[in-house]
């Protein structure tokens, strides 16, 4: 099975798939990658790697549990003193080691896939963790205050500017990597995890003819929305500007050309079966609040397979 992942909702599910020892490999969004303090942060890849390594901070679903922030705090004091913007993303000391090492590999002309596979090996991960492409793609948010990178919008500006559109800079240059091409040839089942459809999944689907290649596969998706609210993150405003209803109906509509099975929450009273046509619909508990719940959802998916 191939899992398509962003950095929060799907890693929560991946932790369950790992618990039941499911056989899967992961293709990860890199549109949110960002250079800061001299290093390349690849937030979704880091979350997937740390989840599979069992060291993710499960309170925040980013960074390494029990990490310290000594370097970040010192940089912040220096920036305050110099009245400059400074390091506005909180980066843990151990997490930074990953970023420094990744960036050195890239500076030595390794591509993103090679750098990620080297990191995954170091963390003892048996699954393939593959960036969606090797090219640098930037998720850009058009706002009432101008265009900004996703990280500037979401982390630095805390999602406050009014969203007018979302696009992926350079996506026309992105190529399906040979590692992903091989995976697509080998696997018939694709799981689109409960991730932001616009900022986490759409970039992956937009790499060359990736979306087209999913049409003859068995595609299952778990909704990232219960009722009319995403469980976290900016999916609501992003879906709105793309003309989608902010609900599981809207998510199903968005994936309708590729989706075979859609899993929603059993409490979701917004589900309109007339709007989710030609897709097998299942309801269960999709709120992943702890290890037990992520295991249960993973088992539910295994039974669907
Ligand atoms: P990002 O890269 O951090 O934006 O991560 P993702 O796109 O992977 O995850 C964000 C999405 O996950 C949001 O749309 C959330 O609504 C969804 N999400 C977060 N926690 C859960 C959960 O426990 N269950 C489900 N079904 N979705 C979740």
The pLDDT of 14-42, averaged and rounded, is 97
Q: 76: pLDDT confidence band, cut at 50, 70 and 90? A: very high
Does some domain include residue 173?
Answer: yes
In this predicted structure, what is the pLDDT of residue 235?
A: 96
As for how many domains the chain has, the answer is 1
Beta strands 163-169 and 138-143 are antiparallel
Our answer on whether the CB atom of 247 is closer than 6 Å to any ligand 1 atom is no
Residue 4 lies in a domain: yes
Q: Is residue 299 part of a domain?
A: yes
Residue with tokens 């986490």: 200
Q: Rounded CA gap, 14 and 58, in Å?
A: 13
Residue pair 28/129 in contact by the 8 Å Cβ criterion: yes
pLDDT higher than 90, residue 277 = no
235 in ligand 1 pocket by Cβ < 6 Å? yes
Q: Has residue 233 been placed in a domain?
A: yes
Q: Which stretches of the chain are DSSP H helices? A: 9-19, 43-53, 70-82, 93-107, 112-122, 150-151, 178-186, 202-205, 210-213, 235-241, 248-255, 291-304
> What's the per-residue H, E or C state across 189-218?
EEEECCCCHHHHHHHHHCCCCHHHHCCCCE
Mean pLDDT of the chain: 97
Contact 9, 224 (CB under 8 A): yes
Residue 103 lies inside a defined structural domain of this protein = no
- pLDDT of 304 strictly over 90: yes
Q: Does some domain include residue 42?
A: no
**Distance from C-alpha of 140 to C-alpha of 131, rounded to nearest angstrom:** 18
CATH number of the domain where residue 296 is located = 3.40.50.10680
Tokens 């982390």 label which residue? 155
Tokens 């976290």 belong to 232
How confident is the model at residue 108, as a pLDDT?
A: 98
Asked if the structure places residue 20 within a domain, the reply is yes
- Is the distance from the beta carbon of residue 10 to the nearest atom of ligand 1 less than 6 Å? yes
User: What average pLDDT does this structure show over 160-187?
Assistant: 98
Higher confidence at residue 211 or residue 273? 211
Compute the distance between CA of residue 143 and CA of residue 127 in angstroms, rounded to an integer: 38
For 149, the domain range is 1-34+126-305
| Cα 131 to middle of ligand 1, angstroms | 18
Return d(Cα 8, Cα 106) in angstroms, integer. Answer: 25
127 lines ligand 1 (CB under 6 A): no
Q: pTM score > 0.85 for this model?
A: yes
114: in domain: no
């Amino acid at each position: 099975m191939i899992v398509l992942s962003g950095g929060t909702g799907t890693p929560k599910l991946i932790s369950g798939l790992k618990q039941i020892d499911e056989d899967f490999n992961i293709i990860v969004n890199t549109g949110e990658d960002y250079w800061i303090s001299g290093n390349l942060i690849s937030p979704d890849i880091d979350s997937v790697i740390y989840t599979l390594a069992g060291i993710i901070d499960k309170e925040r679903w980013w960074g390494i549990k029990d990490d310290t922030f000594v370097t970040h705090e010192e940089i912040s004091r220096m920036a305050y003193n110099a009245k400059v913007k400074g390091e506005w993303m909180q980066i843990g000391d151990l997490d930074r080691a990953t970023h420094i090492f990744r960036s050195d590999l890239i500076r030595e002309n390794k591509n993103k896939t090679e750098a990620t596979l080297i990191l995954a090996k170091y963390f003892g991960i048996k699954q393939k963790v593959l960036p969606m492409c090797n090219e640098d793609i930037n998720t850009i948010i058009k706002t009432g205050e101008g265009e900004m990178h996703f990280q500037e919008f979401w982390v630095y500006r805390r999602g406050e500017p009014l969203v007018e559109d979302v696009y992926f800079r350079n996506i026309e240059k992105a190529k399906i990597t040979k590692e992903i091409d091989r995976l697509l040839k080998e696997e018939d089942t694709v799981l689109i995890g409960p991730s932001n459809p616009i900022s986490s999944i759409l970039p992956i689907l937009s790499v060359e003819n990736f979306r087209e290649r999913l049409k003859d596969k068995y595609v299952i998706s778990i909704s990232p929305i219960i009722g009319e609210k995403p469980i976290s993150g900016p999916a609501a405003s992003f879906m709105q500007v793309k003309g989608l209803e902010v609900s599981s109906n809207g998510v199903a509509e968005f994936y309708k050309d590729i989706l075979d099975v859609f899993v929603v929450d059993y409490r979701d009273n917004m589900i309109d079966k007339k709007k989710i046509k030609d897709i097998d619909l299942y309801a269960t508990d999709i709120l992943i609040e702890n290890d037990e719940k992520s295991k249960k959802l993973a088992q539910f998916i295994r039974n669907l397979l």
